[in-house]
Amino acid sequence: MEKNKETPGAQKPKGRKGRHSCQQCDKSFSTSGDLKTHLRIHTGEKPYSCEECGKAFTQSGALKSHKRIHMGEKPYSCEKCGKAFIRSDALEIHQRIHTGEKPFSCKECGKTFTTSGHLKSHQRIHTGEKPYSCEECGKSFRISAHLKSHQRIHAGEKPYSCEECGKTFTQSGALQSHQRIHMGEKPYSCEECGKTFTQSSHLISHHRIHMGEKPYSCEECGKTFTTSDALKTHRRVHTGEKPYSCEECGKTFARLNALKAHRRIHTGERPYSCEECESTFTTLSVLESHHRIHTGEKPYSCEECGTSFTTSGHLQTHRRIHTGEKPYWCEECGKTFARSDALKKHLRAHTGKKP
């Protein structure tokens, strides 16, 4: 009589009848069929493939669930909110949102999660592991979804578009944040001053103003900043980089906001108006400086003589009286000046133009 053939990679049950264990990872199963299916994880075998897209699976059940994507079938729905899912386990995970159940906890910090996958991703914060790396630039990520979003930068792919203005984004989260601009929604508010923001990251950066925290410092001059973006923009002072150019006149700028403000010169747009005298301005900062004419506020004072000014620019010009600095010079005769308007007046002497 022929002996029963054993499943490759399996060992005979020990102690408990009907248990089949995997020699690779010691996981045990009640039937040899379940063990055989499990072994495909180690062998990489995927015998079930989708006729629509060719994607392969280790189990027939997984293929069956996958086919629902092409059919648009979502047989499992949530009784609380009506949201439907392709798989029953996806519904079970979703229901934890309503129950508040978070069965997976981190041993390092105690934080809890609704899925084991979220816990696994979180644990990489403690281990520093970033297993997903970009083939284009080598940047690595903790989560595969973050890598996929990043790869769209290289591909130029922006699949998420705003129905209001048509602006496109690489991430759905970025689109959701953007849509709050049109809705006027600012769900994140500062407990210190009440200022509201469309994004939580903007609130976190804002908090640093109250705390006096400036964690980002320039290696060139030591100047510190509250955000990494502010530091990145500042570095252009040292590198001379001006990546934003005007399509009308070709003038370049280090900051995008500076380009936007400059464009208003060509369009004639002056969106900021004074409530006191109805004067209009191209930028908010100029309007704020103008307001001080009405309030009499002069927040910028000279440490040398105590003279105060409405703008930091006027203070900077005034300081040259004490320092003797004259940064503006005439190319015709070499004469130097403390103020740009004084140089312009002087140049008229060479050109023969009357003021």
Q: 6-15, pLDDT tens digit by residue?
A: 445 544 444 4
CA distance 287 to 292: 9
pLDDT of 192 = 87
Q: What is the pLDDT of residue 4?
A: 44
> Coil, helix or strand for 223?
coil
Which amino acid, 255? Answer: R
Residues in a beta bridge with 281:
272
The number of C-alpha atoms within 13 Å of 321 and in the hemisphere containing its C-beta is 9
Do 334 and 346 form a contact (C-beta atoms < 8 A)?
no
Determine the Cα–Cα distance for residues 135 and 155; give it in Å rounded to an integer.
12
Tokens of 143: 């989560």
111 contacts 105 by C-beta, under 8 angstroms? yes
Taking only the tens of pLDDT, the chain with its 355 residues reads 344 444 455 444 444 444 789 888 888 888 988 888 889 889 989 999 999 899 998 888 888 888 988 888 899 999 989 999 988 888 999 999 899 999 999 999 999 999 998 999 999 999 999 999 999 999 999 999 889 989 998 998 999 999 988 899 988 888 988 898 888 888 999 998 888 988 888 898 888 888 889 999 999 899 999 888 899 999 998 999 999 999 999 999 999 889 998 999 999 999 888 988 989 998 888 888 898 889 999 888 999 999 999 888 889 899 999 999 998 999 889 999 988 889 989 998 887 765 5
CA distances from 281 to 41, 177, 266, 267, 284 (A): 66, 28, 14, 13, 7
**Three-class SS of residue 339?**
coil
CATH superfamily of 28-101: Classic Zinc Finger (3.30.160.60)
Which tens digits make up the pLDDT trace of 74-125? 999 999 899 999 888 889 999 998 999 999 999 999 999 999 989 999 999 9
- Least Cα distance to 111 among 102, 124, 101 occurs for 102
Give φ, ψ of 168 to 5 degrees.
-110, 155
Strands 336-337 and 328-329 come out as antiparallel
The token pair at 321 is 């009286």
The alpha carbons of the chain give a radius of gyration, in whole angstroms, of: 32
Sorted by sequence, the CB contacts under 8 Å of residue 320 that are 6+ apart come out as 326, 327, 338, 339
Question: At a CB cut-off of 8 Å and minimum separation 6, what does 122 contact?
Answer: 106, 111, 113
* pLDDT at 201 (0 to 100): 85
